[in-house]
Structure 1
């Protein structure tokens, strides 16, 4: 969906009144990974079906563990990353759970910018979860509140700054966001912009 001129969005490197104004990166669509058909399915060759055998019960698929993933955060001094919030569910309707997560660099004081990511299960057993898509980039200097899952929709309040003079502790702009899987990608749905409480 293409927002009208003057709308604000949470994917921008500039701070200021239009702190959330990059619709192409977040307000439009965020591409996700597609499934690749198997060789037999794509070749069109007919194969003889083997006799049916009872399927062995399968263990339930667990959601990706966000503490086992590696995130593209440039943390000063190599400090660790902290998982601030997480929600898990079948976000894209493929029958397997994903994990959406809010992550930021560790800090004993202050509030570093957050990134928001969707994780898929590891490609191989025992591997690390894979970042499928970035919903909010930490470089955009945003903070995330009220992170939650409603059905298959990820929701949050994204906080930002009206100018460089606003202290990092106290963002003064606020906008609600929803991210939904539609077709083959996540679509960002911004709510009205306002001021942070």
Structure 2
């Protein structure tokens, strides 16, 4: 097929002024987009929730919480050890606590819990997660804070015949906040639990 032999149309010839005008308009558009960005266009270094504004929030009081322990009649749950930090990075501290039933003789099993702030002012702290369940018949020693992680030595028993005074299994654990949950990282086994 051959092109039409008719006269050339005036808008089909580009001149230097056309190209300069088009380049200037395109440059202005790119500059405007670079200057006017959405408010959330800055890169995020961390996916943690923003810290609350206002006065600092106190760590949950472990003595004000209710624990899922089945203690003997007349015995109450007692807080053995506690540490507080902002474990999940939300700007509010949590409290990790070792709790067991009070006993004048023997060593009852311990539970390790992470408490979050009360749901409403004046309320009791809530248990966010159980790290060590007392039903697993464990004892806890060397409970401490390591940065934003909780560390403890977990003691246990190799059999039902092992006296409850003398645990014969031992392993150190670190609990860290990862991907929206607490992850238990066991240390090297020493008669592993």
Match of 2:127 among 117, 126, 131: 131
Distance 1:112 1:137 in 2: 12
2:188 is paired with a residue of what secondary structure? strand
| 4+ aligned runs moved over 4 Å, structure 1 | none
**Matching of residue 161 in structure 1 with residue 157 in structure 2:** yes
Query: Is the contact made by 1:157 and 1:174 (CA closer than 8 Å) also made in structure 2?
Result: yes
Give unpaired runs (5+ residues) of structure 1: 1-56
- Number of matched pairs: 140
Aligned-residue CA RMSD (Å)? 1.3
| Bigger relative CO (Cα 8 Å, ≥ 6 apart) | 1
**Matching of residue 116 in structure 1 with residue 109 in structure 2:** no
Query: Is the contact made by 1:173 and 1:193 (CA closer than 8 Å) also made in structure 2?
Result: no
TM-score by length of 2: 0.70
2:135 is paired with a residue of what secondary structure? helix
Kindly provide the CA deviation profile for residues 110-149 of structure 1, in whole angstroms up to 9, marking residues without a partner as x. 1000000000000000000000000000000000000001
Task: Please identify the structure whose Cα radius of gyration is greater.
Answer: 2
Give unpaired runs (5+ residues) of structure 2: 1-52
Structure 2 partner of 1:104? 100
Structure 2 partner of 1:91? 87
Distance 1:152 1:190 in 2: 17
